[in-house]
Structure 1
Amino acid sequence: MGDTVTGNPTLHPYSGPIDLTRPYFVGAGGTAMSALAQLCQATGSTVVSGSDATDSDRLARLRDLGCRVTVGHEQAAVEGASCVVYTTVTAHTSEVAAARVAGIPVVHRAQVLQEISKDRRLIAVAGTHGKSTTTAMIATALTALGEDPSYLIGADLDRPGSGARHGKGDLIVAEADESDHSLLFLHPQVAVVTRIAHDHPENFGGLDDHLDAYTLFAGGLRAGGVLVVDADDPTSARLAERIGKLRPDVSVVTFGNTHAATVRIESIERHGWSTKVMVTTPGDVPVVLRANTPGLHHARDAVAALTALVSVGVSAVDAAEALSQFTGVQRRFTTIGEAGGVTVVDCYAHHTNEIAADLEAAGAVAGEHRVIAVCQPSGYPRVRAFGGEIGRALADGADYAVLLPVHGGDPIPGVSQTVLGDAVAEDGGQVRFADLGNAAEVVTGLARPGDIVVLLGTGTVTDLAEPILRQVAQGAMTSVR
């Protein structure tokens, strides 16, 4: 793969043998990193250690499992480690620098995942949208089917640290991250690509760059592997065509509405907070798939999961039954609570398409009532590149858009939540500006019984759920101004 991973000069692959007897995880409290640390702890590492900038429930979970994790970054902490595991976010910490000086191997988390999974059948789930949900669907279905899989999900299932599990079966299901090109470290047996859209403008110049990255990813499938793609997504269809030519030994399996799809969606019916999907599977076998999460996008995630399960030998009927037991993952249209007739839903959505999809789902559930979107824009480069699109999605999908300051990254002059606000107003939407200190009050002043409040963003917007519910419960609702 050369000195760097294609498209991202900050990723330097470690080319030597990876010793996981004493791994040190920088940023161990992150969702994916804590999951990987748990798996190392369960698969024979003598000492698993690490750190994070702040304490968290996930660090507490790691301590309970016997991992030596601390708060704060100290150079001396890496002494005695067999390798130091990093992500793009933690690549420039003092611990990583100290490890390089000391000659301790510095290894990206995706390389550790590949090392752990090299002797097992890896199902790697990639794509711009729906990775965590689809990964969780496959993992929980395999567990329900008695396959005893291992899994690493980029989100928690029901509690902090629940996104990882070590099983005795030969299948391992993991989320593959395209944001920094690190998915190129993986060589799966099954590669699932949910959908492809332009995102992460700091690392990708456009849609063609994404297609090239996914081509390299799918091109790295093991001999006789399977590529699962969305036949209705034009860029994914181009990917399927490319891999069909580059890797004739790989089976390309598709899902979607098109008649040519391997797993064909015949209809999708909404039933409140759930959906029923009628699909036709190979051999023209009709199957009813029930998704216990609202929204057309979650229904398609369920079909992607079913297609992946069929590709590893599960019958379509059994796969559909197992998937019906899935109840969702944290921060993916998760209902936090209800007070005074107002429901608060937490969403990790930060891309235009994700925001539009979650608001569409909220609107379908709300019916004649209103949707109030509380959006904390994620990252200045994304706001600069997509702020107008996001604003229009908010205007189209929400009755009110409450905009918070941009979360994460270094400020860029002229880039703020105002970019979104201007687009909302230009599209005829209603906008309010707030911060974390007064957002709950602003939302409570707008909300009426029956409304759905949707928290959108990757950052601290999730912390507003409890204050909003508390204020609504206290009878603080006022008439809309």
Structure 2
Amino acid sequence: MKSIFDVKKVHLIGIGGISMSSIAQILLSRGIAVSGSDQSVSTLTEQLKQNGATIYVGHAKKNIKDPDIVIYTGAVGNDNPEMIAAKDKAIPIIPRTVALNDILQLHQKIIAVSGTHGKSTTTSIVTHIMRHQIGEISYLIGAQLNETKRAYHLANSPFVTVEACEYQANFLHLYPTTIVVNNIEPEHIDYYKSIEQLIDTFRTFAKHLPADGHLILNRDDPNASQLVDHIGCQVTTFAIDQAADYQATNLTTTAEHTTTFDLLIDGNYVMTIEQALIGKFNVYNTLAAITACHRNGVQLEGIAQLMKHFVNSERRFERLGKFSGANVVSDYAHHPSEVKATIDDAALLANNKLCVVFQPHTYSRTKNMLAEFATAFNAADHIFIADIYAAREENIYNVSSKDLVDVICKAGKKAHYVGNLKNIPAALKAVVDEQSLIIMMGAGSIDDFARKMVDK
């Protein structure tokens, strides 16, 4: 088997994930029979079912019939009954990113966006610009593109954009022609034992680039800047705080909740950009995207207008509606740096009371980053902490959300433990009014809860 497109039947373990479901949809579009399993039914699994996939709820050996190949997601361990059944039947088993690379290799120009933060937003901006500047392109994003309401598209185009995740070094299965590195911070501590190991993994990924490829780095990030050494292709830098090939200056937040900045290329003013994205971190995302597009031949003319009308992907400071008169947004932030950046920028908006409801994501991250989380909420007026969303983990770390509440309080802010998500509405009703902004924050189930909570 040379690629996943050489087989007739594929089974996907963890088919309900955003990336796995995209791969499954692409396989279905190519006439390949698809089956798959996940722990629960979702909108994504229902869409797959409607398109002809066989969906199993729960993992069991009997779900493995006679596929030609099995694809598994990173959250699946070797003790998964379907993994065991596939091995017993000598069925080839490959990780998600190997299948993803087979899709990418259908294209000549592969733009991979990596980094600890901002991958989905940056990939979405690159995709948005390219779709409008050069026509339909292929894309595989970790969130639905707002303008298409899809996280994937397979087009007859030389270009494809992809979100490249560093978890378990998964992106080492990918071979792009352009790599963007937004930033590198300690993350996935259950896998990476040191920041040096994480940087080395990014460096190995960068070495996948061909000689005529492009490595695009955030010069303001000291860890990402280390990748310049020993890379045998063109390196382009972007930055805000120091001179770079592409630089943003004169950042301003407007009363209309937009951000403006001046774009300089090689020190020369090019244009002023206004975007409906708040925060310095989103300027980095846009700057990285513009750099990637321009280095791949996209004309700059028209980009300012495109960014003015760009709407970010779901769960990226997404406005959901109102609750008890207060505006409610959903945000995917789950790393301390993301949490702090989002709250700090939200505090600059025109609201009197900023209420943050945070659902920590994974026991390992919560345990290992308690000190960093302690001061991440300083700009919030009211802080509510829900139970930890376990995701792929067991609580071998002996940590709970009460520990997070304790360190926040010891750092000088008052935080409240709410436990189960169902307790959130009552807690909010006691403090919010029409002048409040509620941020429902986290990478777990809090988003679904928030959507059900808001007034329709």
Instruction: Give TM-score, length-normalised by structure 2.
Output: 0.93
Query: What's the offset of the Cα at 1:398?
Result: 0.9
Aligned positions of 1:18-417 closer than 5 A: 18-20=3-5, 21=7, 22-42=9-29, 44-92=30-78, 93-120=80-107, 121-158=109-146, 162-240=150-228, 242=229, 245-247=230-232, 250-271=233-254, 272-282=256-266, 284-367=268-351, 369-394=352-377, 396-408=378-390, 409-412=393-396, 414-417=398-401
Aligned amino acid, residue 291 of structure 1: Q
Question: Which is further off, 102-111 or 286-295?
Answer: 286-295
2: CA distance between counterparts of 1:189 and 1:309? 12
1:463 aligns with 2:445: no
Distance 1:124 1:399, change over 3 A: same
> 8 Å contact 1:444–1:468 — kept in the other structure?
no
Identity of aligned residues (%): 27
Name the residue aligned to 1:6: none
1: CA distance between counterparts of 2:337 and 2:435? 25
> 8 Å contact 1:126–1:176 — kept in the other structure?
yes
Query: What's the offset of the Cα at 1:437?
Result: 2.2
CA distances 1:355-387 after superposition (whole Å, capped 9, x unpaired)? 0111122111244x1111111111111111102
Aligned amino acid, residue 437 of structure 1: K
Query: What's the offset of the Cα at 1:32?
Result: 1.3
CA distances 1:245-298 after superposition (whole Å, capped 9, x unpaired)? 341xx1111111255311011221112322112111258351222222222211
> 8 Å contact 2:247–2:267 — kept in the other structure?
no
Question: Which is further off, 410-419 or 149-158?
Answer: 410-419
> 8 Å contact 1:127–1:196 — kept in the other structure?
yes
Name the residue aligned to 2:436: 451
> 8 Å contact 2:38–2:59 — kept in the other structure?
yes
> 8 Å contact 1:58–1:161 — kept in the other structure?
no
Aligned amino acid, residue 30 of structure 1: G
Distance 1:160 1:51, change over 3 A: farther
How many residue pairs get matched?
448
Distance 1:38 1:161, change over 3 A: farther
Distance 1:413 1:80, change over 3 A: closer
2: CA distance between counterparts of 1:321 and 1:160? 19
> 8 Å contact 2:359–2:387 — kept in the other structure?
yes
> 8 Å contact 1:151–1:173 — kept in the other structure?
yes
Partner secondary structure for residue 393 of structure 1: coil
2: CA distance between counterparts of 1:216 and 1:413? 30
2: CA distance between counterparts of 1:214 and 1:453? 36
Query: What's the offset of the Cα at 1:185?
Result: 0.7
Partner secondary structure for residue 357 of structure 2: strand
Query: What's the offset of the Cα at 1:104?
Result: 1.2
CA distances 1:445-468 after superposition (whole Å, capped 9, x unpaired)? 111221111111111112332464
CA-atom RMSD in angstroms: 2.0
1: CA distance between counterparts of 2:41 and 2:150? 17
Aligned amino acid, residue 355 of structure 2: I
Partner secondary structure for residue 128 of structure 2: helix
Name the residue aligned to 1:478: none
CA distances 1:205-259 after superposition (whole Å, capped 9, x unpaired)? 222111101000101112310011111111111112x2xx341xx1111111255
2: CA distance between counterparts of 1:283 and 1:265? 10
Distance 1:387 1:66, change over 3 A: same
Distance 1:464 1:53, change over 3 A: closer
Aligned positions of 1:412-427 closer than 5 A: 412=396, 414-427=398-411
Distance 1:39 1:321, change over 3 A: farther
Partner secondary structure for residue 315 of structure 1: coil
> 8 Å contact 1:372–1:398 — kept in the other structure?
yes
> 8 Å contact 2:206–2:231 — kept in the other structure?
no
Aligned amino acid, residue 341 of structure 2: A
Name the residue aligned to 1:5: none
**Structure 2 unaligned regions, length at least 5:** none
Instruction: Give TM-score, length-normalised by structure 1.
Output: 0.88
**Structure 1 unaligned regions, length at least 5:** 1-15, 474-481
CA distances 1:142-187 after superposition (whole Å, capped 9, x unpaired)? 1122431111111123499711111111111111110111001111
Partner secondary structure for residue 156 of structure 1: strand
1:441 aligns with 2:426: yes
Name the residue aligned to 1:4: none
Aligned amino acid, residue 469 of structure 1: V
Aligned amino acid, residue 24 of structure 1: H
2: CA distance between counterparts of 1:192 and 1:413? 34
Distance 1:66 1:158, change over 3 A: farther
1: CA distance between counterparts of 2:194 and 2:430? 40
Distance 1:387 1:100, change over 3 A: same
Aligned amino acid, residue 461 of structure 1: I
1: CA distance between counterparts of 2:309 and 2:77? 38
Q: Which one has a larger percent strand, Structure 1 or Structure 2?
A: 2
Query: What's the offset of the Cα at 1:341?
Result: 3.7
Query: What's the offset of the Cα at 1:40?
Result: 2.5
> 8 Å contact 2:319–2:329 — kept in the other structure?
yes
Partner secondary structure for residue 364 of structure 1: coil
